[in-house]
Every structure is written in C-alpha cells, then in structure tokens.
Structure 1
Amino acid sequence: MKLKLLLFLFCAVCIKLFSQPYYGKQNTKDLPKAEFLLANGSTVNAFFVGYTYPNGTYPGFFDKDDIYNFIYKKTKTSEDEKFGADEVKMLKIYDEHDDVTSTIERLDMKYIDKDGKVNDKRKRSFQPLLYDGKIQIYGSNMKMCSTVSCNYVYSQLYIRNAKDEFAVMPVDYDKLGLFAGSLYEKMVEAFRYAGRDCQEFQKYMDTFEAKIQDKEFKKTMNAKFKDIRKKAFDEGKKDKLGHNATQELLGDYMLQAYLEFYGGIIKEYEKNCPY
C-alpha cells in the first residue's frame, strides 16, 4: 500500500467540499449534482445544498451524529428539502461531466474505553473514504470557525475492516483532554480489534506496542508533528496565504502525516493476512 499525492489531493477536495454548512438559498446556480443512497435501499438524485450540524451542550452534544440534516433540492429552483442523518447511508457528489468527485459514508462506530474494552458508540459519523484496502481509512479535518477566521483543530481518522459493518475509533475524539488515558495505547487496541482475524498481525502489534512505549519514539513523533506545523506556517508566510489558507494547509499536511502513520500499520495487515 502506498498513499500517494493523488490520494492526498482527493482528501483535500473531499474535506473542503463537505466542510460547508447549510447555506440556504444562496449560490443556487453552483449547486452540484448529488446521489443519496438511503438506509431503506433506495436512491435519490438531487442537487446538494449543504447540511446542518447538531447543536447542544456538553455532554449531550457528543452523543449526536456529526451531521443533523442533509439539505437538497430536486431541481435548482425548487424548495429546499431535507433528509435526516438516520435516513442517509452514503452521499456522492458529481461534477458537470457526471464524474464522482467525492463520497461520504455513514459510519456506525465502536471505541476503546478507559479499560481497553471495545464498546458501541452512540453517535455515527459521516466521513470520506481516504484509503480502500483490507482495512479502510476514513477521515477529515476538524476546524473551529468564527465569523472571520477558521483554525485547524485536529485530524479525525477512523478505521474499518472491509468485512465489518462498523468502524473503530483509534482516538475517541469526543474525550480528548478528558483523562481518556494513553492515546497510543487506545490506538493499538483499535488496530488489534480491526485486525482481530489475523494472528500474524497480532504478533506485529505486540512489537509495535513495545515500540511506541519507547521514549525516543514519542520524542521523534512529537518532533515530526512540530516540524509539520512549522512547515505549514513558514510556507503560509512565504506565499502570503493569510490566516485561513495557512490553517487549511496545516490541516492538509497533518492529515497526510496521520494517513502515512496509519497506512504503515495497515500495510503490515495486508502483507501478513491474505484473506
């Protein structure tokens, strides 16, 4: 498996498209064609307007799907209509040549709790597929925006064995900073679970788990991500990108780094697990 630049560019396009919130009656002439695959098995062709986010306060907010409603039009001049998140399994976006430019899927999820046990997550997440292999990677960047600026927060990635109906969260993003335990340890358990059908992969994860306990490994990883941030800010300053574009660039670089890190683990699964 090799995560090439083409994949990186696809991710960036996918994430930027699906980061747009509901924008109502504006820009109707630019609405892209869309295809909704619904939970009941039917398909609806429409024009994609945007989506609405859930609202609320902690802790209830974190139990909600990350998209509340999908807004669409049957024709560019018709009234807005909507699908609830529980009605949609997949959304495809098409360009003017009717080629698929991006896709997001609804992920039912499991997470690793503080005791290292696998539990069902009450919420679902809609994410683009970033890598399609025996273990798939889904994900996007999380941003926080005010009326004038946006800041990159973190890259959220999910893994799913292609034979499973659910994804596993290597990091429970809803509990970041809430004494959730070692992020690396939870990541190891998530990959163990995704590759639970392969004994050779479990042996590799034993070696990998010992590796990430090493202080030099953690030091190297911290330095790597620090350098990535510096690279993005230096390039943003050099090219006079401005704050928002620099934050976009930072998100692109960070997402690619996480993809390569996760991809290295998945490569071992694909090499050692032929079934």
Structure 2
Amino acid sequence: MKTKFILFLFCINFVKFLSQPYYGKHNTKDLPKADFILANGSTVTGFLVGFTYPNGTYPSFFNKDDIYNFIYKKTKTSKDEKFGADEVKTVKIYDEQDDVQSLIERLDMKYIDKNGQINDKRKRSFEPLLYDGKIRIYGSNLKICSGAVCNYVYSKLYIQNAKDDFAVMPVDFDKLGVFAGSLYDKMAEAFKYAGRDCPEFQKYMKSLEVKFEDKAFKKEMNAKFKDIRKKAYDEGKKQNLGHNGSQDLLGDYMLEAYVEFYGGIIREYEKNCAY
C-alpha cells in the first residue's frame, strides 16, 4: 500500500496547479509537457497552460462539469489553443525527465442520496489520480479566493473500483450543508458500493459502520483534523509562508490525511478481494 501512495506524493504539486484558473499570462518555461488523450482515441502532445472554469450561480453551477476547456500550446512559444472538456478523456503530465508525474482523468460520477440510494450525477469531474489500486482514489483541493487572499475550503475525493467506468463520491460536495445527513453514513455506503462484488469486504464495512457511530471515534477524528490545522498554521508561520502559503500547506496536509484514511479502508478490500 505504501508504494502505491508514492503516486500521491507526485500528485501534490499538480493538485496545486489544478486549483489555479487560467488567466492568460504564464511563464512559458514552467509549462509542463502533457499528452491529451481524446475521446476519439487520438493523442495530442503539447504543453499544459491551464483551464477555464464554469461560471454561474447556485444551484445551476453545481450541475456543470468542473472544467470547461483545457488551454495548451503545441510548442512553448506557439499561441494558446484549447480543447473542450467533452473532447478530453485523460491528461498525462510529465516531469523534466519525461516520466509521468500526474494523471488527470474525466470521471463520470455517482453519489449517495439522503435515502442511501446510488444516483448518477449530472456533471463530470476532472481529477488527478492519487492512488492506483483495486479501488482507486482521485481528488484535489478546493480554494476560494477574494482578491489576493485565498482560503482552503475542503478536499474533494472520489473512489473508483478498477473494474468500473465511473467514480463514487463518498461525500457529495455539492450538497454540503444542504440536508447532508450523516457524512460517515454516506461514506460507508459509497465504499460498500465500490466494493459490492466482495462479501468479505461487506462484512468489514458493517463493522466499520458501527465504529463510525462511536462517539469516541468521532471525537478522535475531530481532534486529528484540528491538530492538522494547527500543524499547518504553525509550520506556515515558522516558514514565513504568509496566509496563502499556509492555506496551501493546510490543503496538502488535509488531502494527505484523507487519502490515508480512505487507503486504510481500501487495504481491507485489496487484502480480502480478488480482482
């Protein structure tokens, strides 16, 4: 399990890149090489400049794909060009040694409704692959900026059985605070659905659901995430990162903690369930 989490460490910097919108001005020497694998099966190689995000107001905004266009250059000195989100299935990002550093995939999604039922989401999400196993983890951080000040909001994570062509949302981020119900209950239902082909994993999830209801467990988790926030702020102050830098560090720590938590559940699936 630990070796597969190396992929997560490579993705951290790209998760930061993913959280930045396209403003039209970029230092071309920093543009990463990328392969755009298109829906028609072809591949275009270029340099990733950025993305454009959807506009709109609540609630229609949440029914839109989270990226509208990928902006790229065929060479570092050529003009900007774009692919519509519908054209792109996967983006491979390369480092300076031409090794794949990050992988973004277009995810069709399902979510758990307030009645515990599985439903299709109207939109799709483009997310970096953070863990590659029998059940995969995708995700990134959401930040909100007002002027020059940015704040970490939450970490979006999605899980996908390697045999499925869709991802499941353990938490439906579009409905946070809107009759959300128990987040732990929905998280458990999402993992049960992702591992629905394995009776042993279903037994494990039933025992985990009992743990999720335990007050001591909830208190422990609340304390853990409170400590993570304190660690980020203390480290940010020590390193003179400023407000935005400390918020980025908080996002890194929170995303890592969520991946480790989800990874512990996935480990049980991988230990007990065949492909």
- Same-fold call, TM cutoff 0.5: yes
Matched residue type, 1:87: E
Q: What TM-score do you get using the length of structure 2 for normalisation? A: 0.95
Determine the C-alpha separation between the residues in 1 that align with 2:260 and 2:167. 19
Greater Cα offset, 185-194 or 43-52: 43-52
Conservation of the 8 A alpha-carbon contact between 1:69 and 1:83: yes
Matched residue type, 1:232: A
Determine the C-alpha separation between the residues in 2 that align with 1:147 and 1:159. 33
Over the matched positions of the two proteins, sequence identity in percent amounts to 78
Determine the C-alpha separation between the residues in 1 that align with 2:230 and 2:25. 40
Aligned to 2:229: 229
SS of corresponding position for 1:203? helix
Aligned to 1:36: 36
Indicate how the Cα distance of structure 1 residues 191 and 61 shifts in structure 2: closer, same or farther if over 3 A, else same.
same
Aligned to 1:170: 170
Aligned to 1:155: 155
Determine the C-alpha separation between the residues in 1 that align with 2:233 and 2:99. 34
* Unmatched tracts of structure 1, length 5 or more: none
Greater Cα offset, 2-11 or 156-165: 2-11
Conservation of the 8 A alpha-carbon contact between 1:23 and 1:49: no
* Pairwise CA distance, 1:8: 4.6
* Pairwise CA distance, 1:22: 1.3
Determine the C-alpha separation between the residues in 1 that align with 2:130 and 2:82. 26
The correspondence of residues 118-133 of structure 1 with structure 2, limited to 5 A, is 118-133=118-133
* Pairwise CA distance, 1:54: 0.3
Aligned length: 275
Determine the C-alpha separation between the residues in 1 that align with 2:32 and 2:219. 45
The correspondence of residues 53-92 of structure 1 with structure 2, limited to 5 A, is 53-92=53-92
Indicate how the Cα distance of structure 1 residues 14 and 29 shifts in structure 2: closer, same or farther if over 3 A, else same.
closer
* Pairwise CA distance, 1:238: 2.2
Aligned to 1:182: 182
SS of corresponding position for 1:200? helix
Indicate how the Cα distance of structure 1 residues 5 and 207 shifts in structure 2: closer, same or farther if over 3 A, else same.
closer
Greater Cα offset, 58-67 or 14-23: 14-23
* Unmatched tracts of structure 2, length 5 or more: none
Determine the C-alpha separation between the residues in 2 that align with 1:239 and 1:97. 29
CA root-mean-square deviation: 1.5
Aligned to 2:214: 214
* Pairwise CA distance, 1:16: 1.6
Q: What TM-score do you get using the length of structure 1 for normalisation? A: 0.95
* Pairwise CA distance, 1:23: 3.1
